[in-house]
Amino acid sequence: MKKEFVVVTGGLGFIGSSIVEKLLNLKFKVVNLDNLTYAANLEKLKKFNSFKNYYFYKCDITDSKKLNRIFNKYKPKYILNLAAESHVDNSINNPKNFINTNIIGTYNLLVETNKLHQKNYSIKFVQISTDEVYGDVVKKNKSSKENDAYSPSSPYSASKASADHLVRSWSRTYGIKYNITCSANNYGPYQNNEKLIPVIIKNIVSKKKIPIYGNGLQKRNWIYVEDNADAIIKIALKGKDNSTYNIGSNNDFTNKFMVKTICKILCKKFNFNKRIFKLIKYVKDRPGHDVVYKVNFHKIRKELNWKPKENFNKSITKTIRWYLKKFK
């Protein structure tokens, strides 16, 4: 059993639960802080509770007193901050929750990290961010690099950008060690129902319209959640201190392509009728909707010898099969 304690915030979320499971299997002592919001996976909580190296706390990261007690008790070597409000539509309708969790919550975690740092404990803060902080990649064939200026377009991406700046400033001012990861769009089993791929499959199963914003030509880089989790852990353990890493793949697809691809797979491999294509409905575009997100992930490939393992066709089929079992 490894001696190091790792605090993972948001460890019952989509990406967080994948990271927690991998860390437990690597024999780290994992302290999982999750507020058990609508996005929490209670099925994973039951599974994790069977591990002797697992410690769970229902905790809102805006609760500074509770964070202080937990940090003082475990004195973690790594903090992986995945606790976040993350749905762009929700940030447009209710930005206050995003300011509180994503900015104030990160501030509270940094305060506790610095308290241990000032007492000479070895500790690293890993901030899990998003490709959306870079904003729209307007130039054809361009991709966002780690040293590019931030240009967030939504309350969600602005809150994540703010948190990233706080992390860098705490390093510059107080000397804490950090990494920031900017990941592409994740997909896979266990994602919350409000996200694009679950919405597509759930609506098809329910014979409801599949909404596509605008003309559907918004392009995103897609990465399987297990690949992203592997990359984040590798960055935490082996990444260069005080450095940012983009995490991406070679899967650059429009929303329209994703919807039609899922429909094709459902027809070809799961015997759905081709009439499901008629469920596609183009709706009014989201305010401030960026057209293209694309990260350059050459740095993590070169420095850490990481690249995504999952084949898109196999992993999206695996994902579809999982959601069909859930929604049928």
Catalytic residue among 57, 156, 187, 224: 156
pLDDT at 165 over 60: yes
Residue 93, domain extent: 5-187+223-250+293-310
Return d(Cα 327, Cα 323) in angstroms, integer: 6
pLDDT at 140 over 70: no
User: Mind listing the pLDDT tens digit for each residue in 68-119?
Assistant: 999 999 999 999 999 999 889 899 999 999 999 999 999 999 999 999 999 9
pLDDT (mean) for 151-172? 97
Three-class SS state of 137: coil
131 is catalytic: yes
Average pLDDT, the chain: 96
The amino acid at residue 324 is L
Q: Answer for the pair 160, 152: CB distance below 8 angstroms, yes or no.
A: yes
pLDDT at 238 over 70: yes
Kindly state the helix (H) or strand (E) to which residue 185 belongs, with its residue range.
strand 185-187
pLDDT (mean) for 187-215? 97
Cβ neighbors of 181 (< 8 A, separation 6 or more) are 126, 127, 128, 129, 231, 232, 235, 244, 245, 246, 247
Return d(Cα 166, Cα 148) in angstroms, integer: 17
Q: Answer for the pair 79, 55: CB distance below 8 angstroms, yes or no.
A: no
Q: Is position 122 within any domain?
A: yes
pLDDT (mean) for 141-162? 95
Among the listed residues 225, 181, 184, the one whose alpha carbon sits nearest the alpha carbon of residue 80:
181
Return d(Cα 23, Cα 233) in angstroms, integer: 8
- Looking at the DSSP assignment, which residues form a beta bridge with residue 295? 144
- Looking at the DSSP assignment, which residues form a beta bridge with residue 34? 58
Among the listed residues 170, 233, 220, 190, the one whose alpha carbon sits nearest the alpha carbon of residue 13:
190
The confidence score (pLDDT) of residue 110 equals 98
Q: What is the CATH number of the domain that holds 235?
A: 3.40.50.720
Q: Is position 318 within any domain?
A: no
252 is catalytic: no
> Percent of the chain beyond pLDDT 70?
99
Cβ neighbors of 326 (< 8 A, separation 6 or more) are none
pLDDT (mean) for 177-185? 98
Q: Is position 24 within any domain?
A: yes
Q: Answer for the pair 67, 109: CB distance below 8 angstroms, yes or no.
A: yes
Given pLDDT bands bounded at 50, 70 and 90, which one contains residue 26? very high
Q: Answer for the pair 182, 239: CB distance below 8 angstroms, yes or no.
A: no
pLDDT (mean) for 228-252? 98
DSSP assignment letter at 144: B
Q: Is position 197 within any domain?
A: no
Given pLDDT bands bounded at 50, 70 and 90, which one contains residue 138? confident
Q: Is position 20 within any domain?
A: yes
Q: Is position 270 within any domain?
A: no
Q: Is position 302 within any domain?
A: yes
Given pLDDT bands bounded at 50, 70 and 90, which one contains residue 141? confident
Q: How many domains does the chain have?
A: 1
> Cβ–Cβ contacts within 10 Å for residue 94, how many?
11
Q: Which residue bears the tokens 């918004």?
A: 218
pLDDT at 139 over 80: no
146 is catalytic: no
pLDDT at 297 over 90: yes
> Cβ–Cβ contacts within 10 Å for residue 64, how many?
15
pLDDT at 223 over 90: yes
The confidence score (pLDDT) of residue 207 equals 97
Return d(Cα 108, Cα 101) in angstroms, integer: 10
Catalytic residue among 34, 60, 85, 132: 132
The gap from C-alpha 73 to its chain's centroid, in whole angstroms, comes to 27
The gap from C-alpha 235 to its chain's centroid, in whole angstroms, comes to 14
Catalytic residue among 34, 131, 164, 226: 131
Q: Is position 41 within any domain?
A: yes
> Percent of the chain beyond pLDDT 90?
95
pLDDT at 1 over 90: no
